[in-house]
Chain A
Amino acid sequence: MKTHVQTQANLDILYWQQLQGGSELGLKKLIERYFNALQNYGYKFVRDEDFVKDCVQEVFIEIWSRRTRISTPESVRAYLLGSVRKRVLREGFRQRINRDDESTDFENDLTFVEFSPEWSVIEQESLAETTQRISDALNQLPKRQREVIYLRYYQNLDRDEIAEIMGVNPQSVSNLLQAAFKTFRENWAGAVLLAIWLGDVVF
């Protein structure tokens, strides 16, 4: 499976290099691959669909207009997620300023929102119940731990990629994840199911 992920990352690099060479096809491929995932991530910070969509769009516009001058990132996906995170936080903060809020620290001001799965799409009752319990437990975690869990599992990123996106060092990512799992275990009442998780997560 690792090789498969590797192949995907190589394809990303390929598309990126096509984009740098001025190929609209490369740009299009990256949009098809990542636009939705990027929106999903941005929505975790600001609950405003149009706002987030604009932010993601602007990230791509900036990449496309600077294509001849930008270098190739080690992980295209991490670069895109990181760019969206930065933009959403910055623009979101700016909007608040306009509304005369007094905060000055946009990194800590905007919360990584609570998980609230869409129940309508989960038709199966027992699955919905389990999902609810998991998200309740996750929502008790501090926001940075929640974000690490989200990036690790939902976006399926590795430690270095997460570190790059969140602007912290890789060890902090590991620490955040370990702490998250510790709390998660203690909080979650349905420990029976958790036993199936099988041991510690090494990261």
Chain B
Amino acid sequence: MKNAHYRDYSVDDLTQDELFRDWVINRNSLSEVFWLEWLTENADCADKVQLARAFLLALEEKDTGLSPVELEDIFTKIVQASGPTIVPFWQRPAFRVAATVLLILCAGYLAFTYVRKADTEQVTHQVPASLEDFSPALTSDYIEINNQNTQPRTFLLQDSSRIVLYPNGKLRYPKQFDKAKREVYLTGQAFFSVKRNPQQPFWVYTDQISTQVLGTSFLVTADARHAKVAVRSGRVSVYMRTDVQREQPSGKHESAGVVLTPNQQAVFSMTEKRLVKSVVEQPIAIQKVPVNNYIFDEAPITDVFTLLEKTYGLPVVYDASSLENCYLTANLTGESLFDKLNIICKITRSSYELVDGQIVIYSKGCEK
């Protein structure tokens, strides 16, 4: 019998159950189908279900609920009422199309001074000095662009890579790139559209982290406390700068770096002095999946996870044996990744966690 655990639920438990509330309060037709079906199989529980339903309904108000369209209007009104805001360029459609990789790096320039403000003197000398050690090109014959305007400034580098430097951003690059690699040094925020050239990787150095790409677009931002790199598609390597310096002579970075794939991000933790890998806030589909693929009819749950992996490029980790008897009947078309996961977890009595850039599923298993 499916979903037999609900048989043990008290009225009190039912009123708190997400799937039950989804039916009674949100009037979700998917959940309604689930419960009506469950009731035909568990007719003896009808009184209990009726009571729990009546209890929630008794507390309910005349339906003042607004439709998604009305909520959209309200959203617009609220934003306008609070004064004009600038839509960040990476949220504009044009950018979404253009960018293959979205990288948010916080240069940590301020963080460095923040932590070490006791010896500011030393810091100002130390940064260029250490930079000199591993990137002579950036300390001898270089050009530095400093945007003091209130508008972003766009310019091209000699390799045709395009840079948008944001107000208060400072970018340093050599007059002539090294043959082996293209190196730039950034404080502040900049958007890079890097010309692809696998023979000459592009490096963005900041005080805390260094990012290596072969050719793609990404955003680098400076922030007092945080450092973050988020990937839209493709592959990006992020290193802590201390590690890059240490391993420079041997020429290998594998051990110290974090490799990011789509919808993953690396956050630099100031306190732990390490890079933490996680999932981005708003994962997007990296590959077009036919609409019908997200309509499931008694599909083995493991198939559903495989499809999610394919769509979002994020690993889904689960214990296959405990999910053996779990099947999903649902239409998840048009839901975001997290909404999909929420529905799947609700129906299969499981929960998920985001660990180390992966989706980890915990399940108590399903009854036959």
Residues of A within 8 A of B (CB): 1, 3-8, 11, 14, 18, 22-25, 27-28, 31-32, 35-36, 39-40, 43-44, 49, 52-53, 57, 60-61, 64-65, 115-118, 121-122, 126-127, 130-135, 138, 149-150, 153-154, 156, 193, 196-199, 201
From A4, A49, A197, B342 is in contact (CB under 8 Å) with: A4
Contact B342 A31 (CB under 8 A): no
List A contacts of B77 (CB < 8 A): 57
With A and B bound together, what is the CA distance between A49 and B61 in angstroms?
Answer: 11
Q: A150-B59, A197-B11 are in contact. Are A35 and B88 (CB under 8 A)?
A: no
Q: Check B150 for interface membership: any CB of A closer than 8 A.
A: no
Contact A24 B11 (CB under 8 A): no
Q: List 29 A-B contacts (CB under 8 A).
A: A1-B18, A4-B351, A7-B342, A7-B352, A23-B88, A23-B91, A24-B87, A27-B79, A28-B75, A31-B75, A35-B66, A36-B64, A36-B66, A39-B64, A40-B61, A57-B78, A65-B82, A115-B58, A127-B57, A130-B50, A130-B51, A134-B58, A138-B58, A154-B60, A196-B10, A197-B10, A197-B11, A197-B12, A199-B10
List A contacts of B66 (CB < 8 A): 35-36, 39
Contact B85 A149 (CB under 8 A): no
With A and B bound together, what is the CA distance between A117 and B60 in angstroms?
Answer: 6
With A and B bound together, what is the CA distance between A97 and B75 in angstroms?
Answer: 31
User: Which of A4, A57, A60, A121 has the most chain B CB within a 10 Å cutoff?
Assistant: A4
With A and B bound together, what is the CA distance between A4 and B352 in angstroms?
Answer: 8
User: Which of A5, A28, A154 has the most chain B CB within a 10 Å cutoff?
Assistant: A154
From B48, B58, B78, A196 is in contact (CB under 8 Å) with: B48
List B contacts of A36 (CB < 8 A): 64-66, 71
With A and B bound together, what is the CA distance between A11 and B345 in angstroms?
Answer: 15
Residues of B in contact (CB 8 Å), total 51
List A contacts of B282 (CB < 8 A): 25
Q: Check B15 for interface membership: any CB of A closer than 8 A.
A: yes
List B contacts of A24 (CB < 8 A): 75, 79, 85, 87, 91
With A and B bound together, what is the CA distance between A55 and B21 in angstroms?
Answer: 26
- How would residues 342 to 363 of chain B score, 1 for a CB under 8 Å from any chain A CB and 0 otherwise? 1001100001110000000010
Distance in angstroms from A10 CB to nearest chain B CB is: 9
Contact B63 A153 (CB under 8 A): no
Q: Check B338 for interface membership: any CB of A closer than 8 A.
A: yes
Q: A43-B62, A197-B11 are in contact. Are A131 and B57 (CB under 8 A)?
A: yes
From B55, B87, B91, B353, A153 is in contact (CB under 8 Å) with: B55
Contact B63 A118 (CB under 8 A): yes
Which A residue sits closest to B72, measured CB to CB? A28
With A and B bound together, what is the CA distance between A196 and B56 in angstroms?
Answer: 16
Contact B79 A138 (CB under 8 A): no
With A and B bound together, what is the CA distance between A22 and B85 in angstroms?
Answer: 8
Q: A7-B351, A27-B79, A57-B77 are in contact. Are A134 and B87 (CB under 8 A)?
A: no
With A and B bound together, what is the CA distance between A28 and B10 in angstroms?
Answer: 36
Q: A24-B87, A36-B64 are in contact. Are A153 and B56 (CB under 8 A)?
A: yes
Contact A193 B82 (CB under 8 A): no
Contact B18 A14 (CB under 8 A): no
User: Which of B10, B47, B64 has the most chain A CB within a 10 Å cutoff?
Assistant: B64
List A contacts of B74 (CB < 8 A): 31, 35, 57
From B50, B57, B65, A126 is in contact (CB under 8 Å) with: B50
Distance in angstroms from A67 CB to nearest chain B CB is: 9
With A and B bound together, what is the CA distance between A122 and B53 in angstroms?
Answer: 10
